[in-house]
């Protein structure tokens, strides 16, 4: 009876192996430095200034079924102290993911950067509903209506500097990719000043993409720094 129980248990374990094999995805549940978060009690700190050297580039965009992604080659950089981060791509989420003192935002842009040594850095720009956003107004007509691959859009440019708020103040915390494999060790910078987008702009996006971000993750003792 005991043996039969054990072999049944073994069979069950074998059935579950495919899931168990993706140990990295377990981080999504068990990780302790996960994104996004609710920024509730940041600690003021003298953080290095952000120096954006973003350059316009030919618009290369893809709809991956979850979001629209705009890719960049090598010309757009973010300098932080002596570190140089190159912009790889930006994409959008609804709702915004990271919250400020409990406030949930209807949308966020994630601008993903990588340093030469391979350090990943996600810069988050949050959007409130309000006035129309000029950068989104330029981009939205090029949103692919259906899932497709990366493709260049003729006679169109992408300029990530249009997605930056005037204020360069930011929050910083150690985070992760927000979807499987939820890899940690990603530096998260959340710009303090949200931008706005209009109700029609939000509706235009929502007509194409379902909500695509998980809720705030536990801080697990992490400290969020706030620049000043
Ligand atoms: Zn993202």
Residue 117: DSSP 8-state: T
Q: What's the gap in Å between 69 CA and the centre of ligand 1?
A: 10
CA neighbor of 40 nearest in space, from 178, 175, 218, 227: 218
What dotted CATH number matches 45-227?
A: 3.10.200.10
Q: What's the gap in Å between 5 CA and the centre of ligand 1?
A: 44
pLDDT at 11 over 60: no
CA neighbor of 36 nearest in space, from 224, 221, 192, 215: 215
Residue of 66, 93, 113, 151 marked active site:
66
pLDDT at 24: 58
pLDDT at 13 over 80: no
Q: Ion ligand 1 — residues with CB under 5 Å? A: 110
pLDDT at 10: 46
Residue 194: DSSP 8-state: -
CA neighbor of 174 nearest in space, from 212, 127, 216, 225: 225
Tens of pLDDT, residue by residue over 154-178, are 999 999 999 999 999 999 999 999 9
Q: What's the gap in Å between 93 CA and the centre of ligand 1?
A: 6
Tens of pLDDT, residue by residue over 130-147, are 999 999 999 999 999 899
Q: What's the gap in Å between 131 CA and the centre of ligand 1?
A: 23
Catalytic annotation present for 66: yes
Q: What's the gap in Å between 47 CA and the centre of ligand 1?
A: 23
- Report how far residue 13's alpha carbon sits from residue 66's, in angstroms, rounded to the nearest whole number: 32
Helix (H, G, I), strand (E, B) or coil at 133: coil
Residue spans of the domains in the chain: they are: 45-227
Cα-based angle 85, 91, 94 (whole degrees, multiple of 5): 130
DSSP state string for 142-154? G--SS----EEEE
pLDDT band, very low/low/confident/very high, at 54 (cuts 50, 70, 90): very high
Tens of pLDDT, residue by residue over 23-52, are 658 999 999 999 999 999 999 999 999 999
Residue 2, phi then psi, degrees to nearest 5: -65, -45
Helix (H, G, I), strand (E, B) or coil at 11: helix
Q: Between 2 and 190, whose confidence is greater?
A: 190
pLDDT at 21 over 70: no
pTM reported for the whole predicted model? 0.89
């Amino acid at each position: 009876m005991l043996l039969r129980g054990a072999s049944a248990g073994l069979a069950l374990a074998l059935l579950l192996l495919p899931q168990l094999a993706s140990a990295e995805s377990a981080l999504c549940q068990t990780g302790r430095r996960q994104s996004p978060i609710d920024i509730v009690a940041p600690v003021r700190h003298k953080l290095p200034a952000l120096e954006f050297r973003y350059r316009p580039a030919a618009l290369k965009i893809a709809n991956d079924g979850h979001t629209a992604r705009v890719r960049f080659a090598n010309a757009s950089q973010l300098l932080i102290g002596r570190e140089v981060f190159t912009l790889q791509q930006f994409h959008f989420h609804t709702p915004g993911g990271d919250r400020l003192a409990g406030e949930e935002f209807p949308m966020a842009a994630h601008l993903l950067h990588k340093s030469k040594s391979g350090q990943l850095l996600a810069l988050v720009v949050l959007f409130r509903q309000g006035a129309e956003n000029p950068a989104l107004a330029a981009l939205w007509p090029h949103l692919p209506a259906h899932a497709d691959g990366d493709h260049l859009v003729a006679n169109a440019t992408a300029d990530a500097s249009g997605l930056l708020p005037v204020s360069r103040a930011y929050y910083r915390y150690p985070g992760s990719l927000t979807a499987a494999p939820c890899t940690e060790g990603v530096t998260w910078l959340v710009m303090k000043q949200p931008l706005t987008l209009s109700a029609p702009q939000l509706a235009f996006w929502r007509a194409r993409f379902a909500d695509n971000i998980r809720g705030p993750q536990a801080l697990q003792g992490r400290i969020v720094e706030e620049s000043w």
